[in-house]
Amino acid sequence: MDASLVQQLESIRDDAGLAVNVTAKKMLEVLKQGGYLYEQLLDPSQLIVHSENRSGMMVIAYNVHCRGHAALKVGWSMAKLTESYCMELSQNTLRRQAQLDSMRALVEASDGKLAGVAGTERFASLSSSHMSQFCRAVRSGCSSEHESLPTVLALETLTKKYTDEQFATAVRRGWAFCSLNASNHIAGRLTEMEIAMNLAAHYKRTGCMDTAVEACRAMCELGYLDAIAEWVKKYTGGEQFVLIWSVARRWWWFYYMDGCGW
């Protein structure tokens, strides 16, 4: 990024006289003018949740379904999704794989309530994550435990109860997102929980903890990675790693359950 543009962004960021929303709006406008931010229609199938979204906790399945139901109950409104932001997945192969693996671990922890990762996704959502993942879940026929939703999500079933063309359009075609270029992505540090989940997910696919460790080593430089791997291997409930998924669910649950708005 051009140094003068960085200076301009820092000047806006450090202006104590600007309200938070005004600061964000001004910075986004600078990025847009500089060609680092662009708007396009994105299909839900193109989106995963950014691994650093909500301080690295991403989303939980129940809240995705809860917010999806809340939107259906009052009527789906595209106007509420006008400030949807995402980032292109990293152009670095290893970092991109780490982003996809974080989403795969999240999906695995959801027990079939979030749509699987195809590996062809191109963007990671920074906002509207619950709505985009709800649309993905509906398209994929995911299961649901929400008391007001069918046990198997399907557009045909939902639109019989909620006649909502905007929702049907969102599921089938998506909506406009403002996208940040991947070339400007700054990788964040993975948490120990994310690393443990990635180790477990890699092991379940390969059957080899050494392979899982090497895959995770490519994602992060952590001196005690082997110690985390040893803990995952010996103390998390065998090859199903039930303790990891149990802890992850409770962690996300208590962090997120502050309401089911948009």
State yes or no: pLDDT of 187 exceeds 80. Answer: no
Instruction: Give the closest residue to 181 by CA, choosing from 89, 92, 46, 101.
Output: 89
3-state secondary structure of 68: helix
Q: Residue 220 has what pLDDT?
A: 66
Task: List pLDDT tens digits, range 239-258.
Answer: 888 887 676 655 544 444 44
- Hey, what are 7's tokens? 């200076």
Question: 107: how many CB neighbours lie within 10 A of its CB?
Answer: 24
pLDDT at residue 219 is higher than 80: no
Amino acid at 260: C
* Average pLDDT of the segment spanning 9-34: 89
Residue 183: pLDDT over 70: no
Cα gap 215→96, rounded to integer Å: 12
Q: Where in the chain are the domains?
A: 34-184, 192-254
Residue 71 has a pLDDT of 93
Model confidence band, residue 185 (pLDDT cutoffs 50, 70, 90): very low
Q: What is the pTM of this model?
A: 0.68
pLDDT range class, residue 128, cuts 50, 70, 90: very high
Give per-residue burial for 133-168: e unless 16+ CB within 10 Å, then b.
Answer: bbbbbbbbebbbebeebeeebeeeebbeeeebeebb
